[in-house]
Structures are given as C-alpha cells and as structure tokens.
Amino acid sequence: MSDEFVTVTREGQLTILTINRPEASNALNAGAQFAMAAAFDAFADDDEQWVAIVTGAGAKAFCAGHDLKQQAAGGGLVTPPTGFGGLTARKGFNKPVIAAVNGVAMGGGFELALACDIVVAAAHAAFALPEVRVGITALAGGIQTLPQVVGRKHAMGMLLTGRRVSAAEGLAMGFVNEVTEGDVLEAARRWAEQILAASPMSVRATKEAVGLGLSTPFDQALVDQWDYPAMKAMLASEDHIEGPQAFAEKRAPEWKGR
C-alpha cells in the first residue's frame, strides 16, 4: 500500500515505509500521520512481514516533526492514537523497526527514530528536540525515552536547549547504532538481513521482554518473562523446535514464524 504521503514497499519479509513529503522536509501533517499509522497497522497485521525500515524521501530530511505550518493555520497537532507517525505510542508491538535516518530528524521525527529498535544514520544526519524553542514540549515520548537511552545529563542537555546533535555525536551518546557515509537505506537493509536470519518468534519475544523489563524490577522480570504473550508463543512454536534441530543437523534453519 502507498498513498501521497507514505510509500510502502515489501522485499520478501521486509517492509520499507518512506515518508513522502520531501518538499516539507517530511514533516507530518494530519494526512501523513494517519497514513503512517495505517502503514504500521498493515505491517503489524501481516504475518509474512517480520521487520520494517522507516525512512524519509530525499537526502535532506528523515522527518522534521509535526507540520508546524498546519498548527499555525489553526489545524492543531493531530496525532493518531498510536502516536507520532503511528509508532511512538503503539502498544504490544513486538516486530522490530529500524530507522534509516537520511537527514535531519527533528522533534517528532527524532521521537519517531527513538521509538525504533535500531537507528542507522547518514553521516550528515542531525537530531534535535527543539520544541522548547517554539513554545511546546516533546510530547511524543522524547521526554521519557531519551533519558533511558542516553542518561539524564545528556538528555537534559538536548531537551532544555533544543540543540542539534550530529550523527557522530548520537553514536557516541548511544542513540545511534551505526553512522554510514554510504547509502543509509542499504546499511539499514544489512541490519534487517541479520534480524531476518533469526527466528521471528525469538525476536518478538526478546523485544517484548526488553520493553516490559524496563519498568519491572530485575528479579521480578526474571519471573514474569515466562508469562509474557510473545514469550509463551515462542516457547510453543514450531520455530522453537526447528532452531535446535537445525543446529544439531548442521543446516540453516527454516523459520515459520509460528
């Protein structure tokens, strides 16, 4: 599926979502917000799609956040129930998502990247939460997520000033996994290929356990993880049998995703 705001392509079990508003630095207006939400809904519901990459059209911007021109015109900050870009407030979503940050990621655009599991950035990419400079705050998860990822001091240094951070500094701070001088989408595909080589059931169980474990005391998380839905599904799956069997037979596993 694709529309005027979002282009969706599928390459085997990989879905690529491209924000398609390069003339507006891929800022999301109301139409783009709900198009992104619908695209992520389709990915989440498709059992044959195991990993997603989100990126922006053109070389200038990944996503410049909310379309402030829409807000200035009285349109407000329209966000779907699943959060900015249909991702930042999505609950119970255990499929991995990779951000291929091809340019600036500002405000909600940075929060969208933070909501992804892996961030691959072009060398010229830049990140910021500049909301305080325009009289708003980072309400799409940035205030909560950034301190968890980089620590309070680094997070406050960005949140209170709105300053831009380069891809290289983002790598040093810990919210970027890889910086590339080459094609950022190709770099993201390489990460996706590594994930796709693993059992999707195990990948989803791992993502679920990490997410739920962040808000649970360690000793309790060790106990609770056995009852997490994706973990129980993995333990009861064909993949749970196939993995050890393929290892014993010295062959590549044939994952079913069930």
The model's pTM is 0.93
pLDDT above 90 for 215 = no
The rounded distance, in Å, linking the Cα atoms of 204 and 96 is 7
Torsion of Cα atoms, 135 then 139 then 141 then 144, to 10°: 70
Per DSSP, the three-state class of 30 is helix
- pLDDT tens, 118-155? 999 999 999 999 988 888 888 898 899 999 999 999 99
Phi, psi of 17 (to 5 degrees): -105, 120
Q: Averaged over 189-197, what is the pLDDT?
A: 98
Q: How many helices (H) and strands (E) does the chain have?
A: 11, 10
- Are the CB atoms for 53 and 84 separated by under 8 Å? no
Tokens 């892996």 sit at which residue?
A: 118
Give bridge partners of residue 28 from the DSSP assignment: 66
Is 82's pLDDT higher than 80?
Answer: yes
Active site residues: 111, 131
In sequence order, what are the residues at sequence separation of 6 or more whose Cβ sits closer than 8 angstroms to the Cβ of residue 53?
A: 14, 15, 16, 17, 97, 98, 99, 100, 185, 188, 189, 192
User: In Å, how far are 36, 88, 101, 141 from 85, measured between CA atoms?
Assistant: 5, 7, 14, 12
The yes-or-no verdict on residue 67 having pLDDT over 90 is no
